[in-house]
Amino acid sequence: MVTIKSKREIELMREACRVVALTYEELEKKIKPGMSTWELDQIAEKKMRSLGAIPAEKGYDIGIKGVPKYPATLCVSINDEVIHGIPSKNKIIKEGDIVSIDTVALKDGFNGDAARTFIIGNVSKETKRLVDVTKQAFFEGIKYAKPGNRIGDVSHAIGEYVRSQGYSVVREFQGHGIGREMHEDPGIPNYGKAGRGIRLEPGMTLAIEPMVIQGKPNILELDDGWTIITEDGSLSAHYENTILITEKEPEILTIL
Ligand code: MF3
Ligand code: CO
């Protein structure tokens, strides 16, 4: 079911999303080579709780038999890891890495969701371009996030932009509606046909999240049941914000 948020609910969405933005502000300051992804997770959890929020990914149940509940505040996916990398004391961030972080804050019953890819020190021009294109793909998509347009218009814009830049979008995972639930309808693929899917309406809150691979689009899942990696070993980046559909331009709720 696609939920339309009331004025009051939009205020609560704004606040949950602000927590996510503040968490990224903190992570951006602290992320350094030599740190473990577990340390990053601790920083994020502390920040969220200090702002009266709960890390919503912690304990998240994907609903597949045998897959444990997600154990952490952050997903931290380094280089060829696409999404859902589990923080660990043994995973150390190095100079030259790209580190994709995805997190969700739950505050007063509402969820805010965003992802960023951080560049650690010096990387090649081509790696920097991957990270830039992934972010830009989100902005290309939300140009169409207006009443009257359809979800497919957003999906199509993202997919075509990424393709035009010589990269691939991940097909098995997608953006989503968000509100009281982390994942609500509609699903928002990062590719598709313009003119298809539900019509956008003011009061919808959506998490739009291009996941981009430098090489082929194929992915693999590791034995931990969570971590997704690229099949060809090429790099992957992720960028996501929660947005609000308004009468005019969309509002990006997870940017301060
Ligand atoms: N935040 C992710 C999303 O964008 C969900 C991650 S799954 C979890 O939809 F288990 F880590 F929560
Ligand atoms: Co999301």
Residue 220, pLDDT score: 98
**pLDDT in 10s for each residue of the chain, 256 residues:** 999 999 999 999 999 999 999 999 999 999 999 999 999 999 999 999 999 999 999 999 989 999 999 999 999 999 999 999 999 999 999 999 999 999 999 999 999 999 999 999 999 999 999 999 999 999 999 999 999 999 999 999 999 999 999 999 999 999 999 999 999 999 999 999 999 999 999 999 999 999 999 999 999 999 999 999 999 999 999 999 999 999 999 999 999 9
| Residue 144 near ligand 1, beta carbon < 6 Å | no
**Predicted pLDDT at 228:** 98
Closest ligand 1 atom to 182 CA: 9
CB 57 less than 6 A from any atom of ligand 1: yes
Atom 8 (ligand 1): residue with closest C-alpha?
57
Domain ranges of the chain: 7-252
Question: Residue-wise over 95-132: b if at least 16 C-beta within 10 A, else e?
Answer: eebbbbbbbbbbbeebbbbbbbbbbbeebeeebebbbe
Instruction: Please give the sequence-ordered ranges of beta strands (E in DSSP) within the chain, or none if there are none.
Output: 54-55, 74-78, 81-83, 98-107, 110-119, 168-169, 175-177, 184-188, 205-208, 211-213, 219-221, 228-230, 236-238, 241-244, 251-252
Give residue-wise pLDDT tens across range 57-112. Answer: 999 998 999 999 999 999 999 999 999 999 999 999 999 999 999 999 999 999 99
Q: Output the CA 78–ligand 2 centroid distance in Å.
A: 18
* Homologous superfamily of the 7-252 domain (CATH): Creatinase/methionine aminopeptidase superfamily (3.90.230.10)
Ligand lying closest to the C-alpha of residue 104: 1
Residue nearest ligand 1's atom 5 by CA: 57
